[in-house]
Amino acid sequence: MLSDDSYFTLFAQSVDHIAQPSRFTFPFYYQPHQLAVLAAEQLQQHLKEQKSWHHNFGLNEDDDSALASGKMFGVLVVKNSDGELGYLLAFSGKLADSSDVPGFVPPVFDIYQDKELIAEQNLINQLNSEIASLSAAPELAALTARLSEQNHSAEQEISEQQAHMVERRKQRKAARARAKGELACGELSSDQLTKLEISLAGQSVSDKKQLLSLKELWREQISTTSQQLDSLVDAIDSLKQQRKQRSNQLQQQFFSRYQFLNAQSESRDLADVFREYANHPPPAGAGDCAAPKLLQYAYLHQLTPIALAEFWWGKSPSSEIRRHRQFYPSCQGKCFPILTHMLKGLAVDDNPLLANSAQDKELEIVYQDDDILVVNKPAELLSVPGKNIQDSVYSRIKQTFPDATGSLIVHRLDMSTSGLMVLALNPRAHKHLQKQFINRVVQKRYLALLDGVLNVDEYGREGTINLPLIVDFDDRPRQKVCQQTGKNAETYWQLIEVNQQQSRVHLYPKTGRTHQLRVHCAHPKGLNLPMIGDDLYGKNSAGKTLNGIREQRLHLHAEHLSFIHPISQQPLTFEVSSDF
Q: Are 372 and 424 in contact (CB under 8 A)?
A: yes
Cβ contacts of residue 507 below 8 Å, gap of 6+? 445, 446, 447, 448, 491, 492, 493, 517, 520, 521
CA angle 398, 402, 405 (to 5 degrees): 80
CB-based contacts of 13: which residues, under 8 Å, 6+ apart? none
d(CA 326, CA 541): 8
Spatial CB neighbours of 294, under 8 Å, sequence gap ≥ 6:
74, 75, 76, 88, 90, 105, 305, 308
- In which region does residue 194 sit, left (phi positive, over 0), alpha (psi from -120 to 50) or beta (all else)? alpha
Asked if 525 and 10 touch (Cβ cutoff 8 Å), the reply is no
User: Looking at 207, 269, 288, 414, which residue is catalytic?
Assistant: 414
User: Is residue 114 annotated as a catalytic residue, yes or no?
Assistant: no
H/E segment holding residue 268: strand 267-269
- Under 8 Å CB-to-CB from 519, ≥6 apart: which residues? 321, 467, 469, 479, 480, 481, 489, 526, 537
Q: What share of the chain is helix, strand, coil (3-state, %, to 5)?
A: 40, 20, 40
Q: Crossing angle of helices 332-342/290-300, nearest 10°?
A: 20
Active-site residue set: 414
